[in-house]
Structure 1
Amino acid sequence: MQDLIKRLAELYGPAGSEERVAVYIQESIRPVVHEVYTDPMGSVVAVKRGAADGKKIMLAAHMDEIGVMVTDIDEKGFLRFSNIGGISPFTLIGQRAEFADGTIGVFGFEKVDDMRDLKLNKMYIDIGASSKEEAAAKVNIGDSAVIHRECIVQGRRVIGKAMDNRIGCAVLIETARRLQDSPNEVYFVFTTQEEVGLRGARTAAYSVDPDYGIAVDVTATGDTPEAQRMAVSLGKGAAIKVKDNSVITHPVVRNLLIDTAKAKGIAYQMEVLEWGGTDAGSIHLTRSGVPTGAVSVPCRYVHTPSEMVDLDDVEACVQLLTAVLERPWQ
């Protein structure tokens, strides 16, 4: 699965421009499902059919990553930009920006008397142009860029940009590969625009109309020096979500995940995230309501150019989802 993770993580795919990720996912999952299609919002839906009287279960992982969008080009060819999703100016200093056509720029910033005052509106992207005309020949207003970073595997740890949430996409693909027979009809949904408001999941869930939902995403950890207290660590297993700012997970789904992990001896930990949200926030509010849970991959340095996950946790997530989908849901 390491090659799959690396390929996914290094793809260009900011919110609203997930097409390359979608194509790769379709190619990867098509051989192991019965049907694959793309909905009007660009989300990829892969269906694995089970028993005729089985429950309809939707698994969701978002394809998009955080990034920036060009808002202006000044007379010297420097690009001003706004954020796509939650991004801190301090994580951008000196990083490289990658545009869809491969153009590379460097994030710079104006002189500030106090670094605490650094905001995105004090920053720019330098693509090496010497004039507005030269820059405009390469980049247009409204073009999006992501952080340019290689994904590396170091021991059992994976480090790279866009672990949030290409790692969740990898988990869904691998789960689909391992799931041989299920009494349920399973929808593996790879959603768009999660980073700007859980948008793809909202429309996909309305269309699929599932009986149950499970979001698969990253979550923060509390295992680094002087980190905010949180009972989630790298290497201790799949994180079964209890709550974040978008959802309180449904006890039926949450308990089924816990019971399955215990029965199969799969390493797990309980997650209470005091900020942020996932696609579960949209899924559970669809139509008249969908009982929804979430399985998370613990991740250090979320929304930075070097997010870190543990391969053992990834494996635990795949094992847990495969096992729970093999069970009949009452």
Structure 2
Amino acid sequence: MKELIRELVETYGPSGHEDIVREVIKGKIEDKVDKIRTDSLGNLIALKKGKDSSKKVMLAAHMDEIGLIATHIDDNGFVRFSNVGGISPHMLLGTRVLFNGETVGVIDKEGKLDDISKLKHEKLYADIGATSKEEAEAKVKVGDTASYYRQMDDLGDRIVSKAIDDRIGCVVLLETLNRLKNKPTYDTYFVFTVQEEVGLRGAQTSSFGVNPDLGIAVDVTLTGDMPEAQRMEVGLGKGPAIKIKDNSVLVHPQVKNLMIDIAEENNIPYQLEVLVAGGTDAGAIHLTREGIRSGALSIPCRYVHSPSEMVDINDIDNGIELLTNLLESNYTGLFE
């Protein structure tokens, strides 16, 4: 599973440019599902038929990662940029980024800044090694995007990389599909969404098309287990987190209780998550059409939206086990 994680997290794919990631995922699942398609926005939607086709379940994980977009190239070849998703200017100083998956740039700031808290994106620039505007434009053009340029590092039980948010959710979906021993109870749609980092856009269109009876987003969540971290019950290595609330959704109590019951019945460690800021694809799914019973399963992650996000392999494995058991269980009472 670590090699699968490495392949996905090191693949280039900021919001709106998920094509390469999508092709990698498609190649891994097309012979394991009954139908597969890509919708107009770019979401990859794969159907695994269940024993009962009267209900539809949608599992969603987003393929995109946060990034930058070039807005101006000056006469000396320096690239100005804006953010694509929630990327802090303070996180970028001295960081290497990759434009279009091939051109390396180094981020620095203009002049001297006495108060680092006032740092804004417009005071930053990317140095791609060019000496003129013409040389720079041969490599990067206005509108081109960039992602963090980092490889995955294996620390044993812990993994560090860029783009764990949310390629790790994609891994959970892929491995859940691999571990199914039987047909799922209901028709299950494994949906790999686009543009989550800029407003849950892929989840909005794909859930409208699928129109599921149950939707579960798989994403990362913050933790409270670092020195002087914000107080939060979630920590690495204590199991996947079953969401109760975030800024985008109040999880349907039946869905929350279903996941808790599945975890306890199968002796799977879990945590309960109340996230005071941020959201997931569940926020878009639950508002689709006349409303969808929705929830979220979260993989605890330190240093979210940084070049070095950290997760615990045991939380990932237990998240896969929870979803696999859920899909194969009898939960008809959810729809009564």
Aligned residues: 330
TM-score by length of 1: 0.99
Distance in 2 between the 1:48 and 1:36 partners?
9
Counterparts of residues 139-288 of structure 1 (less than 5 Å): 139-179=140-180, 180-288=182-290
- How far has the Cα of 1:53 moved from its partner? 4.0
Determine if contact 2:60/2:281 at 8 Å carries over to the other structure.
yes
Quickly say closer, same or farther: Cα 1:18–1:53, change in 2 above 3 A. closer
Give the counterpart letter for 2:126 in structure 1: I
Indicate if the aligned counterparts of 2:51 and 2:183 stay in contact, CA closer than 8 A.
Answer: no
The separation in 2 between residues aligned to 1:235 and 1:261, in whole angstroms, is 15
Q: Residues of 2 paired with 1:254 and 1:54: CA distance?
A: 22
Distance 2:168 2:79 in 1: 31
Distance 1:107-1:315 versus aligned 2 partners, 3 A rule: same
Partner of 2:302 in structure 1?
300
CA distance in structure 1 between the partners assigned to 2:226 and 2:38 by the alignment: 39
Q: Distance in 2 between matches of 1:54 and 1:326?
A: 15
Percent sequence identity over matched residues? 56
Relative to structure 1, the CA distance from residue 101 to residue 10 in structure 2 (aligned partners, 3 Å threshold; closer, same or farther) is closer
Conserved 8 A contact 1:58-1:213? yes
Report the Cα offset of residue 265 of structure 1.
0.2
- Does the 8 A contact of 1:261 with 1:268 survive in 2? yes
Pair 187,220 (structure 1): closer, same or farther in 2 beyond 3 Å? same
The 5 A counterparts of 1:87-166 are: 87-111=87-111, 112-166=113-167
Q: TM (normalized to structure 2)?
A: 0.97
List runs of 5+ in structure 1 lacking aligned partners: none
Match of 1:50 in 2: 50
Q: CA deviation at 1:243?
A: 0.2
Structure 2 unaligned blocks of 5 or more: none
Q: What is the letter of the counterpart of residue 150 of structure 2?
A: R
Output one character per residue of 1:76-130: Cα deviation in whole Å (capped at 9) or x when no partner.
1100000000011111111111012511110111122322221111000000111
Compute the RMSD of aligned alpha carbons: 0.8
- 8 Å CA contact 1:184, 1:328 repeated in 2: no
Tell whether the 8 Å contact from 1:55 to 1:329 is kept in structure 2 after alignment.
no
Q: Deviations over 1:245-269 (max 9, x none)?
A: 0000001111000000000000100
Alpha-carbon distance between aligned partners in 1 of 2:313 and 2:97, rounded to the nearest angstrom? 27
Aligned residue for 1:259, secondary structure, equals helix
**C-alpha contact 1:54 1:328 (8 A) present in aligned 2:** no
User: Which runs of 4 or more aligned residues in structure 1 lie more than 4 Å from their structure 2 counterparts after TM superposition?
Assistant: none
Q: What's the CA shift string for 1:203-232, capped at 9, x where partnerless?
A: 000000000000000000000001000000
